[in-house]
A and B are shown apart, each in its own frame.
Chain A
Amino acid sequence: MKELKFSKGLLASVLLSAGALAACSSGDEGSTAEGGGEQVTVDIFQFKVEFKDQFEDVVAQYEEENPDVNIEITTVGGGEDYGAALRSRFASGNEPAIFNIGGPQDVADWKDNLVDLSDTGAADAALDGTLDGVTVESEVLGLPYNQEGYGFIYNTRLFEEAGIDAASITDYASLEEAVKTLDSKKDELGLESVFALPGKETWVTGLHLSNTFLAPEFDNNVLTAYDADTVEFEYGEGFKKILDLQNEYSKQPTVSLDYSQQVEELFSLERVAIIQQGNWVYGSIAGIDQELADSGVGMMPIPVEGLEDGGLPVGVPMYWGVNSNQDEEVVTAAKDFLDWLYTSDTGKTAVLEDFKFIPAYEGYDTSKITDPMSKAIYDASEAGETIGWVFMGYPTGWGEDELGAGIQKYLSDEASWDEVVDSAKAAWETSRGE
C-alpha cells in the first residue's frame, strides 16, 4: 500500500513539474526557430509611444527592400518605465540590438554595451551640437531621434486682439508689460488668466524652466553641466522673476495644476494666452482644436534677465544606441537600418512627414514642416538663435525631484526662494561628490 502511494505521488509531481517546465521552455524554442535561416534579426527596443504605428510602417517598408533583415520592434513608453524595462531586458539575457539612451548619464551607465557609430552616414549628417551628449573620446555612441524645443507658446489671435506684437517681446520688462496688458483685458478676451503654470509637472519647472537660466553658466553645453561639481544659479534672480510672473498671473493653485489642465483644458480652449511648453503639445492641441494648432499659435523664447543673446532651448530628447554584445552581422544590420532611416530618401520623407519630427540631420526639405511651433524651432535652430538642453546633464533626479519639488515648496509658501536655491545647490554638490 505504501509502495503504491509513493509511486502515485511521484507520478503526480513529475507530471506537474514537467508541465510547468515544458511551459517555460516552449517559449525559447519559438524564438530560436524564428531567428534561424539566412535572415538577420534586429531587435529594437524603443520608448516613443507616439510614433509607434508610423515607425512600424516604415520598418515594414525597410524589410520589403531588404528581405534578409528581420526587424522586431518592442515599444515601452515613458521615461522611468523604459529605463526599468531596458534593464530587465539586459538582465534576462534577451538583449535588444537597438535601444534608446537619454543623456550623458545613460551613456556612462551603458557605455560598455554601446557600439561606436561614428562610421555611419547618419553620424556625419547630424547637425552641429546634436552629438555632444553622446560623444565620449571621439566615439559617437548614439544617433539623435529628432530635435525638440520649448519656450512660451502664445495664442496669436489673443495677442492681436490685445494689441500686442510678439516680436517686440525681447526682455523681461516687455514681457511683463504684455502680460499686464493681457491681464487688464481679461474679461474682453474671455481669459481665465494670462498664464497656466503647471507646478505639478516638475519637469516643466525643474527641468525646462531651470534650463533656460542655468544653460548660460554651463556654456550651453550638456557635458559641461554633466562634469560640473557645483551649480551657481548665476541668473537665479531672473529665474525667480519669470517664475513669480507666471505664478502671479496663472490660474490657481499652481501646485496641483498639471499638463492636461494646462495644455488641453486651459490653452486649447483659449482660456489662457501663454503657456510654457514645447512643440510636443501640437498633438494635444490639435486633438481639441486643429485650427488653433495649425495657425493660431506661436512660440517665443523665455527672456533671461541680464543676458542678451537668449534663444529657444532646443535639444535632442533621445538617442538610438546599438548594442555591442550582439553578433557582428546584427550590429552591421542595425547600423544600416539607422543610416537608411535618417539618410535615405524614403527614410527622410517618413521622418519629416509621418513622424512629424524636427530633423536633427542636414539635407532635409524643411519647407514640409507644417506646425508653427516646430517651424519656429527649426528657424531658430537655423539662425543659431538657440540655447542648449543642459538639463540632460543634471545629476540624476536633481531637476525634477530636488529643484522641481523645491519650486513646489516655494509656490506653496513653504520655503523662500533662497532656501530652495541653497538646498538645490547643496544637493547638486552632494550628488556630484559621491
Chain B
Amino acid sequence: MRTRDLSYWLFLAPVLLALALVVVVPMLLGLFYSFTAWNGIQTGEFVGFQNYLNLFTDERFLDSLWFTTKFSVVSVILINFIGLSLALIVTSKIKTSSLLRTTFFMPNLIGGLILGFIWQFIFLKVFASVGEAVGMESLQAWLSTTETGFWGLVILMSWQMAGYIMVIYIAYLEGLPKELIEAAEIDGASTPQRFRYIIFPLVAPAFTVSMFLTLSNTFKLYDQNLSLTAGGPYNSTEMVAMEIFKTAFVQNAFAYAQAKAIIFFLIVAIIALVQVYINKRREVEM
C-alpha cells in the first residue's frame, strides 16, 4: 500500500466530511439524547441509564425483538434457498434463461410500500376467493391472526428479495472454473455430488454476501411491515424498526426510542459481524 500522504487525506476529505455530517454526528447526538428525557422539542434533564433499564422490562419491545428474530431466521433461510435455486435454474442450459432472470429480478424493482399493498390485496382478496372456490378454510382471513401475518411477511419478503439474491449467486456460479466441474464429471461424480462437493464450497463467498444482505435487510424491515400488516392484529406482527418508530412518533417518547435504536443498532452490528466472521472462515481459497 502506498504511503498515506497529505493528498490522500485531502482527496478523502469531502467524503469523510459528508460521512461525518450525516452518519457520525447524528449517531453521537443520538447516543447523547438516549441518556436524556428528550421529547423531540426540548432536551430535558439527564437521566443516565434509565431509558436503557426500562427497555429490558418493556414487554412490547422484547416481543417485537423476538418476532423480528423469528422472522429473520425463517426469511434468511427461505430467501437464500429460493435465490440459489433460481440461480441454478437460470444458469442451467434452458432457452428462456434471460427472460427468467429478468422476471425473477423484477419484484425487487418495486418499492416496499407498494409491494406490501399488492400482497395485502392478494392475501385478503385473492386468497379468500380461491379459498371460497376450493373450500379451503385455511385460505380465509389471512393477516387477521399472528401466524398468517407472520407467514404473509415471510412470503412477501422472500418473493421480493429472492430475485436480488439470485443475481449474486448467478455471478458466482458463472465464475466457477469449468475444468473443475468437468474433471469431477469425468471422475464419476453424480449431479448431487458435484453440487455438494464442488459447487457448494466454491460459491461460499456468495453466501457471506447474501446472508449479510438478507439478514440486515430482514432485521431492519419497516415499509413492508407497515403496509402489509401495520403491526396488527394487536401489535403482534410489529417488528423492531416499527416499534421504535411508534415509541418515538406515537407515544412521543423520543429519548426512550433513541435508546431502543441504539440497542437495536448494537444487536444488528454484532449479528452481522459475527456472521461475516464465521462465513469468511468457511470460504475456500481458490
Contacts and interface: CB of A to CB of B under 8 A. Distances in A.
A45 to B, nearest CB: 14
A87 B257 CA distance: 15
Interface in A84-105: 84, 87, 90, 105
A205 to B, nearest CB: 11
A401 B61 CA distance: 13
B246 A10 contact: no
A210 to B, nearest CB: 15
B145 A9 contact: no
Contacts of A256: 124, 141-144, 232-233
Contact of B246 (A83, A109, A112, A397): A397
B69 interface: no
A146 to B, nearest CB: 24
A55 to B, nearest CB: 25
Q: Which of B18, B144, B252 has the most CB of A within 10 A?
A: B144
B5 interface: yes
A401 B141 CA distance: 22
A411 B252 CA distance: 28
B255 to A, nearest CB: 13
Contacts of B40: 83-84, 87, 109
B279 interface: no
A27 to B, nearest CB: 16
A84 B249 contact: yes
Contacts of B248: 84
B10 interface: yes
B235 interface: yes
B7 A5 contact: yes
Contacts of B141: 252-253, 256
Contacts of A400: 250
Contacts of A84: 40, 248-249
A412 B233 contact: yes
B234 interface: yes
A255 B249 contact: no
Interface stretch (A13-21, A124-132, A158-166, A279-287): A13-21
A68 interface: no
Given A17-B17, A253-B144, A255-B144, A9 B6 contact: yes
Contact of A396 (B144, B232, B250): B250
A6 B10 CA distance: 9
Nearest to A10: B10
A412 B7 contact: no
Contacts, number: 93
B216 interface: no
Interface string B245-262: 010111110000000000
A10 B7 contact: yes
Contacts of A411: 233
Interface string A383-423: 00000000000001100110001101101101000000000
Interface string A1-32: 01001101110110011001000000000000
Contact of B251 (A109, A112, A396): A396
Contacts of A396: 250-252
A126 to B, nearest CB: 26
B265 to A, nearest CB: 20
Q: Quick one: which of A81, A90, A256 has the most chain B CB within 10 A?
A: A256
Most chain A CB neighbours (cut-off 10 Å) among B39, B234, B248: B234
Interface string B2-23: 0001111011011001100000
B234 A412 contact: yes
Contacts of B13: 13, 16-17
A6 B7 contact: yes
A80 interface: yes
B252 A409 contact: no
Contact of B41 (A2, A17, A87): A87
B84 interface: no
A200 interface: yes
Contacts of A110: 41
B161 interface: no
A1 to B, nearest CB: 12
A191 B231 CA distance: 31
A248 to B, nearest CB: 16
B234 A414 contact: yes
Interface string B227-239: 0001011110000
B227 to A, nearest CB: 12
B7 A397 contact: no
A105 B144 contact: no
A401 B242 CA distance: 13
Given A109-B252, A110-B41, A401-B251, A255 B14 contact: no
Nearest to A19: B14
B7 A109 contact: no
B196 to A, nearest CB: 44
Interface of A: 2, 5-6, 8-10, 12-13, 16-17, 20, 80-81, 83-84, 87, 90, 105, 109-110, 112-113, 199-200, 252-253, 255-256, 396-397, 400-401, 405-406, 408-409, 411-412, 414
27 contacts: A5-B5, A5-B7, A6-B7, A9-B8, A9-B10, A10-B7, A13-B11, A13-B14, A17-B14, A17-B17, A20-B17, A80-B250, A83-B252, A109-B41, A113-B41, A200-B230, A253-B144, A396-B251, A397-B246, A401-B235, A401-B246, A401-B251, A405-B234, A405-B235, A408-B233, A408-B234, A412-B234
Interface of B: 5-8, 10-11, 13-14, 17-18, 39-42, 124, 140-145, 230, 232-235, 246, 248-252
Given A9-B11, A253-B144, A397-B251, 17 more contacts: A9-B8, A13-B10, A17-B13, A83-B40, A84-B40, A84-B249, A105-B252, A112-B42, A252-B141, A255-B145, A256-B144, A256-B232, A256-B233, A396-B250, A401-B250, A405-B234, A409-B234
Q: Nearest 5 A-B pairs (CB), nearest first?
A: A9-B7, A256-B144, A408-B234, A13-B10, A397-B251
